[in-house]
């Protein structure tokens, strides 16, 4: 696969569509499949080939990429009765770039191996902007040979690309990532609730702390939007709750305690129950605002 492989891309959501667009810009032959005809038509105008059935998509492709909400959709698309498995040819590579339960990735890999098809789990971090910019962090699990063959694909999508281990390792790495991001956002929420209640200018507090040890990419990405009350989704609260659920399931299987993650998962569940699951995960701060009757950034 020294040439650029033909790619079939399944899932054109907030992350998937800009990722597919970057593959087109990098010169890949791209076929796309989505439940949204509008999104397929949009990419077709940019050079992609829209496919309305998986037999056509797989037939036109050497590598299949899935970017879907959770493991149920990934399992259904890859292994389900109407999925891609019957059409896969020996030597093909399937890359799942969704954030799912790593044990499901391992299960899919074993079943595809029976057809001599390689499987990589390669979840990403960086949100919608990272997908648009082609600057995603990509955590790859799988055998070294297919990883190397697919490196031009990963390089078209991201900047920080690490092969972390066998199949499943990508998913476990993403769970660790999601724990750190969610807890960072929660800490930002609590900290600025304190500053707001003390009567401080939260913008100045942000400027004072961002250059010290409390500074982080999460702080820089979320605090300005928080002050502007901008919770337009780049990565939705309901999806982050799903990731923390998968982290807690992994913790159960590994027989370890993750008390901070467990508490935060409950906070996200409360926000979803209050109708805010479709907000950006920066909206996690709203839990702490409500708890204290405070709106960060509001003049006091």
Secondary structure (3-state) at 30: strand
Identify whether 174 is a catalytic site residue: yes
> Alpha-carbon distance 87 to 94, whole Å?
12
Residue found under tokens 């098809």 = 117
> Alpha-carbon distance 283 to 114, whole Å?
44
Residue found under tokens 């659920």 = 245
Q: Which of 25, 39, 110, 174 is catalytic?
A: 174
Helix residue spans in the chain (DSSP H): 16-25, 37-44, 54-59, 71-79, 102-113, 127-133, 144-149, 151-157, 169-197, 202-209, 217-227, 237-254, 259-273, 285-292
* Beta-bridge partner residues of 32: 9, 50
- Residues recognised as catalytic: 174
């Amino acid at each position: 696969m020294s040439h650029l492989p033909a790619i079939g891309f399944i899932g054109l959501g907030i992350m998937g569509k800009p990722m597919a667009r970057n593959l087109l810009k990098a010169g890949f032959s791209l076929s796309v499949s989505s439940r949204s005809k509008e999104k397929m038509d949009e990419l077709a105008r940019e050079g992609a080939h829209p496919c309305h059935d998986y037999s056509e998509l797989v037939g036109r492709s050497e590598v299949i990429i899935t970017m879907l909400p959770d493991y149920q959709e990934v399992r259904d698309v890859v292994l389900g009765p109407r999925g891609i498995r019957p059409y896969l040819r020996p030597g093909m590579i399937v890359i799942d770039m969704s954030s799912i339960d790593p044990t499901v990735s391992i299960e899919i890999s074993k079943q595809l191996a029976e057809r001599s098809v390689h499987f990589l789990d390669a979840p990403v971090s960086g949100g919608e902007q990272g997908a648009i910019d082609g600057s995603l962090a990509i955590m790859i699990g799988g055998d070294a040979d297919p990883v190397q063959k697919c490196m031009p694909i990963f390089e078209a999508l991201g900047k920080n690309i690490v092969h972390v281990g066998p199949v499943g390792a990508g998913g476990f790495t993403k769970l660790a990532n999601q724990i750190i991001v969610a807890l960072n956002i929660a800490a930002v929420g609590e900290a600025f609730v304190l500053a707001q209640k003390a009567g401080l200018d939260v913008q100045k507090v942000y400027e004072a702390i961002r250059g010290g040890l409390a500074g982080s990419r999460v702080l820089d990405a979320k605090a300005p939007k928080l002050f502007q009350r901008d919770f337009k989704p780049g990565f939705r609260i309901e999806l982050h709750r799903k990731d923390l659920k998968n982290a807690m399931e992994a913790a159960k299987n590994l027989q370890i305690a993750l008390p901070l993650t467990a508490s935060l998962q409950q906070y996200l569940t409360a926000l979803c129950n209050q109708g805010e699951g479709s907000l950006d995960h920066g909206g996690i701060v709203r839990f702490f605002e409500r708890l204290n009757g405070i709106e960060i950034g509001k003049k006091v």
